[in-house]
């Protein structure tokens, strides 16, 4: 695709067994993380994911600056779009938490319960 489009930078390498291994490992971690966030959408976890998106975006920028194929620009644009969307969502959730007096949740017998600021978990 890189050569067909005449893009600058080095073309993507041919996939070998080690590439497939690392893609699979990272795919499993990302999928597990996504499931956890979907099941337990706590602002802290979403904020951590937002920071991770920022790290991915920086890695893409570094790779492009190092001469990697510009095919990854499409992935960079998507990461930045989701980074901004999640960042705005986290900001909204944190403001709502601050206004509600709820600072987090406590896991008790399999249930999640809001915890007011200054309240000790039992």
Task: Give the predicted TM-score (pTM) of the model.
Answer: 0.64
pLDDT digits (tens, 9 = 90+) for 71-83: 899 999 999 999 9
Q: Are 64 and 73 a contacting pair, CB within 8 Å?
A: yes
Q: Give the Cβ contact number of residue 49 at 10 Å.
A: 19
Residue 42 parent element (H or E): none
On the 0-12 / 13-18 / 19+ scale of CB atoms within 10 A, 122 is exposed
**pLDDT tens digits along 24-68:** 998 999 899 888 888 887 878 888 889 999 999 999 999 999 988
Q: What is the pLDDT of residues 9-29, one digit of tens each?
A: 777 778 888 888 988 998 999
């Amino acid at each position: 695709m890189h050569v067909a489009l005449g893009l600058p930078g080095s073309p993507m390498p041919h996939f070998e067994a080690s590439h497939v291994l690392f893609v699979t490992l990272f795919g499993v971690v990302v999928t597990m993380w996504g499931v956890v966030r979907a099941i337990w959408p706590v602002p802290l976890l979403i904020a951590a994911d937002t920071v991770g998106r920022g790290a991915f975006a920086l890695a893409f920028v570094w790779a492009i600056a190092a001469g990697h194929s510009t095919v990854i620009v499409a992935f960079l644009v998507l990461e930045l779009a989701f980074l901004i969307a999640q960042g705005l969502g986290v900001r909204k959730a944190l403001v709502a938490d601050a206004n509600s007096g709820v600072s987090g949740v406590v896991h008790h017998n399999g249930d999640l319960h809001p915890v007011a600021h200054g309240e000790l978990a039992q």
